[in-house]
Amino acid sequence: ADLGVRNITYEGEESEFAIDKSSLAIIRDPNKCIRCRRCETMCNDVQTVGVYSAVGRGFETVVKTAFDLPLHDTSCTFCGQCVAVCPTGALMELDQVDKVWKALNDPTRYVVVETAPAVRVALGEGFGLEPGTIVTGKMVAALRRLGFDRVFDTEFGADVTIMEEATELIHRIEHGGRLPILTSCCPAWVKFFEHQFPDLLDIPSTCKSPHQMLGVLSKSYYAETYGIDPQKITVVSIMPCIAKKYEAARPELGQDPVTPDVDIVITTRELSRMLREAGIHFDHLKEEDFDHPLGESTGAAVVFGTTGGVIEAALRTAYEWLTGKPLENVEFEPLRGMDGIKEAVIPIGKRDFRIAVTHGLGNARTILEKIQSGESHYDAIEIMACPGGCIGGGGQPYHHGNLEI
């Protein structure tokens, strides 16, 4: 990959399948498939989406989508968990590094970058640091070396999401809106929901995800305050996530059809590659701070990277607005008989407020089916598609039994 040979296909008798470039997030090259079926296990057993299946083809087995449909036409959520486990590159994220280089090398563009909380704890792995090492300051310094005009923090957008979700939650409580409210900051989860539970479409929060919030603020508030033509701004998001590529391209998530909130999304892995291409000695860099004002955050948003963080932050805000007091620790208890689902009960005034947290789309399906059947009653639920939340996102450094990028 470092030599730029990612797009060269294997030659020989296996080079008989067309490469599927239909989706806005994942590239599928069946010629590289070795039938290990890890993608099928992740998609069917863990995520319960069921895009891939192994089928007999003469004397051999091939892994394909139902009816061999292009990925774009399936119910794939683009969570990228299949990409994270594929050992051969038969499944890859849509590489957008070239687009970022092009924007950075165009003197007419004002290029803004924002980074998600889960990136700063994983990026160091690409440079030999222990998994979990926090490299925020070095990451900011490296992004400036790459040539970005401003380095912003998606945590600012997450703070805005928290306030918006808390406002929406209070509005539904006070004005009789439909509960539970479901968090909407995970695009894979949103797509899963749209395909699988169309009868519940009025319950997710209407808030944009944090990086989209920051994207639109960069092209509106920031552009206006600093006298920059928003049409000249390119917003690049660095995410642990493959589905955010698809999310940024959704036509309804922009100010108009030609002005998306976010122009380009690259993953933690793609950023590692860019830094290597630029010959930046990451470990030698001195730490630097984000740019102001869109690089500031309260700290509440830092928990967005892990499961439970979004709903806890929104609830803390709603609690304080409703009672005038800060909320003590929120104790989540595992829900009996439902693996991977936790709940907490928080008294607000005379009412007990029930919230649930889960991750992985299989768990999400379980909890939504219980809501549909009337067995479960919650006021708010956080759902993140990837196992463990964004920290385990499909765009994070590969872990194929060892550490590599």
CB of 389 to ligand SF4, least distance (A): 5
The tokens for 183 are 């968090």
Tell me, yes or no, if 79 is annotated catalytic: no
Pick the catalytic residue from 205, 209, 218, 297. 205
SS3 56: strand
165 given a catalytic annotation:
yes
Which of 204, 215, 393, 397 binds ligand SF4 (CB under 6 A)? It is: 393
Q: Binding segment for ligand SF4 among 241-249, 286-294, 324-332, 343-351 (CB under 6 A)?
A: 241-249
Q: Count residues contacting ligand SF4 (CB under 6 A)?
A: 14
Q: Which is nearer to ligand SF4, 83 or 285 (CB)?
A: 83
Per the annotation, the verdict on 350 as an active-site residue is no
**By C-beta, is 235 or 285 nearer to ligand SF4?**
235
* Residue 134 to residue 193: CA distance in whole angstroms: 33
Reported for 215-224, long-range contacts at CB under 8 A and 24+ positions apart, including other chains, are 215/114, 215/157, 215/248, 215/260, 215/261, 215/262, 216/255, 216/261, 217/156, 217/157, 217/160, 217/294, 218/112, 218/114, 218/150, 218/152, 218/294, 219/255, 219/259, 219/261, 220/255, 222/112, 222/293, 222/294
| 373 among known catalytic residues | no
Q: Is the peptide bond before 293 cis (omega within 30 degrees of 0)?
A: yes
Answer for which of 111, 142, 151, 241 binds ligand SF4 (CB under 6 A) is 241
Options 16-24, 100-108, 237-245, 397-405: segment touching ligand SF4 (CB under 6 A) = 237-245
- Is 60 designated active site? no
CB atoms within 10 A of CB 130: 8
Of 43, 76, 241, 390, catalytic: 390
CB-based contact 153:159 (threshold 8 Å): no
Residue 387 lies near ligand SF4 (rule: CB under 6 A): no
Q: Is 86 a catalytic residue?
A: no
Residue entry with tokens 């740019």: 291
CB 379 within 8 A of CB 403: no
List the one residue from 83, 386, 397, 405 that touches ligand SF4 (CB under 6 A).
Answer: 386
Tokens of 233: 């701004």
Annotated catalytic residue 185:
yes
The whole-angstrom separation of Cα 121 and Cα 55 is: 39
Nearer to ligand SF4, 63 or 386 (CB): 386
Residue number, 152 or 189, with CB nearest to ligand SF4: 189
Select 104 or 265, whichever has its Cβ closest to ligand SF4. 265
Q: Is 385 in the site for ligand SF4 (CB under 6 A)?
A: yes
Q: How far apart are CA 61 and CA 65, in angstroms?
A: 13
- Active-site annotation holder among 32, 208, 244, 342: 244
Structure tokens at 357: 């947290």
- Contacts with ligand SF4, 167-206, as mask; x by CB under 6 A: -------------------x-xx-----------------
Is 40 an annotated catalytic residue?
no
Q: Least distance to ligand SF4 from the beta carbon of 92, Å?
A: 16
> Is residue 342 classed as helix, strand or coil in its secondary structure?
strand
Which helix H or strand E contains 192, and what residues bound it? Answer: helix 187-196
List the catalytic residues. 165, 168, 185, 205, 244, 247, 252, 390
Binding positions for ligand SF4, rule: CB under 6 A:
79, 186, 188-189, 240-241, 243-244, 384-386, 389-390, 393
